[in-house]
Amino acid sequence: MSIQFEHLHYLTITQASELIHSGKISATELTQHILDRISHLDPEIKSYATVMREEALAAAHRADQELASGKDRGPLHGIPVAVKDLCFTKNAPTKGGMAVFADHVPDYDATVVTRLAEAGAILIGKLNLTEGAMIGYHHDFAIPANPWALDRWAGASSSGSGAATAAGLAYATLGSDTGGSIRFPSAACGVVGLKPTWGRVSRYGIIPLAESLDHIGPLTRCTRDAALIFEAIAGADDHDPTSLLSPVPPITEVIANGISGVRIGIDRENIEKHADPEVAAGVFAGADVLAKLGANIITVDFPNTDTYIPAWSDVCLAETALAHETTFPARREDYGLWMRNWLDKGQDISGVDYARANNLRHFCRQEYRALLQTVDLLLMPSIPILPPVFKAESLYGAVEGFDFGLTRYTAVFDFTGSPTLSLPCGLSREGLPLSLQLVARHEDEQLLCQAGHAYEQATDWHTLHPPFIK
């Protein structure tokens, strides 16, 4: 290696890109460093389902050749990244955490994988997740550990994405979010998570959970990195008829514009009622920082989600049953207990139930649309609890009841399709990450990232790394 850095794996994408473009390190050296780190740490973290060592080194070598010849694909050129193992990868396994997909090797790449490659990123591997991107795991698959405390929940369902990002096992990862699956791991693992507007990022080549709720987005160690990944993967796609036609904004060009005069709504009473006191304190401290940066913090009333979250659940149940109709119940015994239970319930959702739930979605969207006419952003927790101690028997087992309180601040924005950004905002007394969430109007990822970047310039929470993982 032509240059030595003690914490090379914790550099931002921008920092790593500057080293590559200045010739101080090669893409091959950087990729080898991350691969070595995965070999050393991931037997304990268990974030990777598949490490694509040979393919990654070959891609890194090509990147070095391109850069040497003057072909520069941009800031992601030569940067090692990883994707959740529900993104199709040509000639490489894509299992989605499911035994029913154990032998699934696609013959094409997901659009997001193609776009990362076109931007010059180096795909290191595929990341573990819960079975089918729900809450529980299948016994044939490992449960990723939280790098901040190995006995703690790493979030769901993009658990491997959160763990790998926090542990420095990739410079950025992709996750999916149907009820909170980018935001839960981001919050639990102390990293940044961007859930774009529904349709901003193509879902072509993605194993679905619930297609009208599924979002694809990045998990990174700072907001600028999230914006860089977003700019690479977002945009219309002829393969996905639900993808939005709007042009992708050049967020990184304006990310440092600040938030002076931006109106941010917060419902302190709601947060105090529903969130752990330490989580609430972290969010309120975040509001104070944003106010000092020039934002106008405005008290608002969050909509009552008591009817909307069960409606989201009905839509998710029915659409999951549709996604698995060719394998369930035909291969019922190949499913884990949690997923089996969820699919049984999904098959019981009637057409009337589904229509009623979708009608409620219109009202939900309208309530938040009206609220976001009075303010520019909303501020709340990413998740209302601290990462709990996980017990394998419960995560592998059948969960009879689901705690909808866990999704109070997440599922509703999959229901509306609104863009959100999760940011580290502190540490608990036990040294566990705290996280706040910003919510914007549809297609305003730019303002989200401006606010996140401004917050990071005034704090250092995003620069902290798990003390147990060096």
DSSP assigned state of 146: B
The answer to whether residue 84 is catalytic is: yes
DSSP assigned state of 470: -
Paired tokens of 393: 């028997």
Q: Looking at 157, 161, 186, 422, which residue is catalytic?
A: 157
The half-sphere exposure of 2 on its side-chain side, counting CA atoms within 13 A, is 11
Q: Looking at 17, 46, 47, 84, which residue is catalytic?
A: 84
DSSP assigned state of 249: P
**Which residue, 108, 123, 135, 92, is CA-closest to 396?**
135
- DSSP, collapsed to helix, strand or coil, labels residue 192 as strand
Q: Which residues of 126-146 are buried (b: 16+ CB within 10 A; e: fewer)?
A: bbbbbbbbbbbbbeebbbbbb
The answer to whether residue 157 is catalytic is: yes
Count of C-beta atoms within a 10 Å radius of residue 34: 27
Q: Looking at 181, 186, 313, 382, which residue is catalytic?
A: 181
- The amino acid at residue 225 is D
Measured CA to CA, the distance from residue 132 to residue 226 in angstroms comes to: 24
End-to-end CA distance of the chain: 19
**Which residue, 167, 168, 144, 170, is CA-closest to 157?**
144
DSSP assigned state of 302: P
Q: Could you give the residue ranges of the DSSP H alpha helices within 71-140?
A: 111-118
**Which residue, 169, 34, 50, 56, is CA-closest to 120?**
56
Cα–Cα distances in Å, from 333 out to 132, 207, 278, 330, 337?
A: 15, 20, 42, 9, 9
Measured CA to CA, the distance from residue 99 to residue 255 in angstroms comes to: 42
Measured CA to CA, the distance from residue 11 to residue 5 in angstroms comes to: 9
Q: Which residues are catalytic?
A: 84, 157, 181
